[in-house]
Structure 1
Amino acid sequence: MTARTENLNVVGFDHMPSPKEIKARIPMTERAAESVLSGRRALMDILNRKDPRLFVIVGPCSIHDPEAGIDYARRLRQLADEVRETIHVVMRVYFEKPRTSTGWKGFINDPRMDDSFHIAEGMERGRRFLRDVAELGLPAATEALDPIAPQYYGDLISWTAIGARTAESQTHREMASGLSTPVGFKNGTDGSLDAAVNGILSASHPHSFLGLNENGEAAIIRTGGNACGHLVLRGGGGRPNYDTVSIALAEQALAKAKLPGNIVVDCSHANSWKKPELQPLVMRDVVHQIREGNRSVVGLMLESFLEAGNQPIPADLSKLRYGCSVTDACVDWGTTAEALRSAHKVLSEVLPARGTGRPAP
């Protein structure tokens, strides 16, 4: 009888390998595990003010070509060594793209970029890419969009974002409460802070909810809460929010909620008026605030790839420009390296005075 009342708009159920199966095909290695764990430790130490450095999440808006992505990762690994005294570099590795209506949903959903949606293939190739990045000694960051996906590759992630469109979602707050990484909640697309602040509070508490276990079986997931939630300012409502007044207001909102005063500034999106070439200026302004005494900003985000700008996905994929984003526009590699080196130079003079000490709620 249920055939008359359920799945009326479902046209098929394709087999999906379990997380355990995918992990068996792309197993964790000792070198990759150490990269992930050391990346997480550094991030937690920065958030807990045991480490005075900043962390910078930097990389392509999304991964679409693993070859170009690894090329970028190798360059970033060398740059990370240059600036490691002042900046903890984490590569941005985003596989899932939220869509207001339609569009390419990212490498895991559609790895062949032709609307064929070979999700099992995308998951396996995505996990392999993350392992390759970790084996370079580079920690990775991603956005958690699908609540099932972390079971497949969460062991290879060091930092997680909850996006502006999902920060007020109960599902994503519950998921964040069980993630093994620090989690940054972005302010709303209208610029408001309430959803992100409430998200941090919610994720810090234990939750119980439906999900999948490693064998791909339905399970009740029980979490202990995530103590490393923090605020990400990405602008919104038609204006940036990285200026000193906006950051002071964010500090007050966190203090009112009795949360640590940890703020990350996303240099992209509304903070750069969606003009990628302005991202280094945003970064420079925030570093200047640190030089002038700010202690709440603990990290920055930058959208960057080998080539500047972005490109549409052509029908003939051989026409794709190598190392150029197919989603949001990015700054190029030379601009990225210059921005991080400039920040490193300024921070090397001020971080010793910035000191340590747990952020006050």
Structure 2
Amino acid sequence: MKFVDEFRDPDAARALIHQISADAERLGRPIALMEICGGHTHTIYRYGLENLLPESVELVHGPGCPVCVIPMGRIDDAIWLAQQPGVTFCTFGDMMRVPGSEKSLLDARADGADVQFVYSPLDALRIAEERPDREVVFFAVGFETTAPSTAATLAAARTRGIRNFSVFSNHVFTEPPLRAIVDEGRTRIDGFIGPGHVSAVTGSARFEFLARESDRPVAVCGFEPLDILQGVALLLRQFLSGEPARVDNQYSRVVLPQGNLIAQRLMDEAFEVRDTFEWRGLGWLPRSGMAISEAFAEWDAERRFDVPGRRVADPVACECGSVLTGRIKPWQCRVFGTACTPATPIGTCMVSPEGACAAYYNFGRLDREASQGISAG
């Protein structure tokens, strides 16, 4: 309990909130801080942190949920793979319910496809080893956080000579969408709460481009409530200092400036950079996706199967793209909490536990006045 007590201590939280409020008043202008990671979004709305901050400090959700950024066409491709004869399709549980243009993987399983949810790509490799009569395909999604485990699994498949296993890679890089948001002025963002899990792999130095090129400060943070409050405090101190923006590493107990070099080497061998990749809400971003490298071409599902490569527009009613780029808050979407709920999701942001819409819905977070009214009641 010592760790929990340390990072959820109410007296420490009050002291940080007092410091943030005083510094925000000294700054004298509103600021918008984008949290990049869906894990941060979950913490913020689970603990109501946005309502503990002064009104001049706004927290904005960014494209940090790995499930949420996958476009509908790639979901349709996954369903197509799952429906091929002799294929066992393995996926993480939260991808099962993501809607494609006609159905989800869960629906495909109900229709007879052999779709299994797994906890890691190594689970899928074990299924392939136990079922040599099946073609086992793993649906790989996620940022640099999960890509090393996929890379390690590909290496294990090669070492153990497991030929009936392949990977449908949808891994993506964190930097390109942030560049798109900053460079194209998609939303007003003054600073960033940097992703703790991604930074553990890439290193905190990977986000120096935001400070260097756009003069926007970054605070890489952990996932406890006090981590995020301390990150906000660090960003405010940067604004007040008048010095050039920099990257502060609040999560130094886990994150190193250079990151995890072993994980990086695994990724470099297993993946190559795609020329372009489609993102929900951001469209096609150059050099933003990870394809299976030539060294592991034999285990690449897109080379083994004639994947259709479908391109499907999001449903007109769904505003996940605007949520992911910080243009609107989830409760501002016209179908939020009515036609679109966790039980009947229209968009990806309502499916994943890290999605902003699911976080807002599950923890009753609306606008500041409505949330405070709920709390008071």
TM-score (norm 1): 0.25
TM-score (norm 2): 0.24
Q: Which has the higher helix share?
A: 2
Higher relative contact order (CA 8 A, sep 6+): 2
Larger Rg: 2
